Each structure stands twice: as structure tokens, then as C-alpha cells.
Amino acid sequence: MAAETLLLLGGTGEARRLAGMLDPVDGLRTVSSLAGRVGKPVLPVGEVRVGGFGGVDGLVAWMREENVRLVVDATHPFAAGMSASVAEAAGIVAVPWVVLRRPGWTERDGDRWQWVGDMAEAARVVGTLGGRVFLTTGRQSIGAFAGLDGLWFLARSVDAPEGALPRRLEVVLDRGPFSVTGEIELMRRHAIDVLVTKDSGGAMTAAKLDAACELGVPVVVVRRPPVPAGAEVVETVEAAARWVRSRLPG
């Protein structure tokens, strides 16, 4: 019997773990998909394809060509464009699809968080909270803070940012996981007095929140975009693996 093909949209640690968990599973061929944004990505085990599909039409064509029978959207919670494409394409091809989305972060006693709706709002409010900003929102978001010449920025990203950038900017290239002591040291060294983050959730990058709490530094937290309407959502890699296994024949 031919193996069922699972398209696993990735770019997250959860997607890599899921690929590992499903390799090998009898009767299943898993293809992990990466956008190709990161220069030296940490690759999942098994079959991998890299690069955009070319919108919904391209994704539908690819799914048909590869005879995809199941889809797991394990992209980052802020990869809203890809998630919308997956939802639409899975509907057109009529294959079951699930969104694997880790829970967001929640505020605890001692935290000083200000929630905002998007990066533009983060840029509008950040100067009211501090003057030395630690930007941890990823290189594609740094441009939203260009033109804020009264503020000084430390931006951390995996690859170097490009395009319009804040004038007073220092970039540190690094990827998680990070430790609380390391984050405290970094924030103290640069006299950071406000942190900006997406509500990415997960343990890999949560240490900065503990560090900010410890140092009494306020945090601007950008809310997640909603998951596509009608999506079935699971929060853990284990639940996603069960979802896949339960849909395999036999």
C-alpha cells in the first residue's frame, strides 16, 4: 500500500520535534516545508522542501502533485499569511488539516506588560515606556521602528536585518534557547529600560520575560493574529502526532 503523504508546514521547534516523532511511522511519508528565510536553518529529520509555494494556487497544485492526504500547520503563531494559505488550500483539496499552536504567554505577578494589537502600535507606545529598547520581534519587524530617532535600540535576530532600520541600532545575531541569567546580563549591559516581544509563547525564548520582571523593565507584548476560521487547533507536539496517527488507514 502506498504511504499517505503528510505536509508539515514548519519553521518552528515544534515542527522539528513532530517530524522526528513521525519518522518513521509505517504507511506515512512526511514532507517538512520551510520558507527559506533563515540562512542556516536547523533542519528537521526526513524529507524537507524549502521556499514559498506561490500563494494558494501554488500550494494547491503542489498538494495535488504530491498527493497530500494530511496537513499539519506547525508554523510560528505570527506566520499568518502561511496559515491563511494552508486553510484555504486544504479546503480546496479537501484534506484534513490541523494547526499546531503552542499556548501564548500569560502575565504573572510582578510583570509590567502592555498588550498591543500589532507592530505599528508597539512602535507608537514604546517611547512612552522607555528610551533604550530591546527588540526581540524578529528581523522582519525591525523596520516598524525606523524613524524613532529619539530611542536607542538593541535588536536580536537570527540573521541580519535589512531595509529601513532605526538610526540608533545595535544588532546582536543569536538564536534561542536563552537563559534568564544571560538575558539579565544582556539587558543590564545595554541599560535596557523597555522590551518589545511578540506573544510567541513557548520556553525557548521566555527567559527575557523573567529577566524583564526581575529588572522591573516594562514589556510591550504584540498580540497574536487569530488562527484561520474553522481551524482545528492542538497545542502540543504529542497531540499533533496523535491527530496524524488517528487519520492513517488501518
Residues that bind ligand NAP (CB under 6 A): 9-12, 33-35, 37, 52-55, 58-59, 75-76, 78-82, 85, 138, 198
d(C-alpha 31, C-alpha 10), whole Å: 10
Nearer of residues 224 and 247 to ligand NAP, judged by Cβ: 224
Give me the least distance between CB of 60 and ligand NAP, in Å please: 11
Give me the least distance between CB of 250 and ligand NAP, in Å please: 29
Nearer of residues 16 and 184 to ligand NAP, judged by Cβ: 16
Separation in Å, CA 218 to CA 23, 82, 139, 201: 43, 31, 21, 18
Cβ 45 vs Cβ 21: under 8 Å: no
Strand, helix or coil at 134? strand
Amino acid at 94: A
Helices (H) and strands (E) in the chain — how many of each? 7, 12
Torsion of Cα atoms, 8 then 12 then 16 then 17, to 10°: -110
Nearer of residues 5 and 85 to ligand NAP, judged by Cβ: 85
Nearer of residues 74 and 184 to ligand NAP, judged by Cβ: 74
Per the structure block, which three cell numbers stand in for 4? 499517505
Nearer of residues 216 and 230 to ligand NAP, judged by Cβ: 230
Give me the least distance between CB of 227 and ligand NAP, in Å please: 12
Q: Give the single-character DSSP code of 157.
A: E
Give me the least distance between CB of 191 and ligand NAP, in Å please: 26
Give me the least distance between CB of 243 and ligand NAP, in Å please: 18
CB atoms near residue 122 (< 10 Å): 24
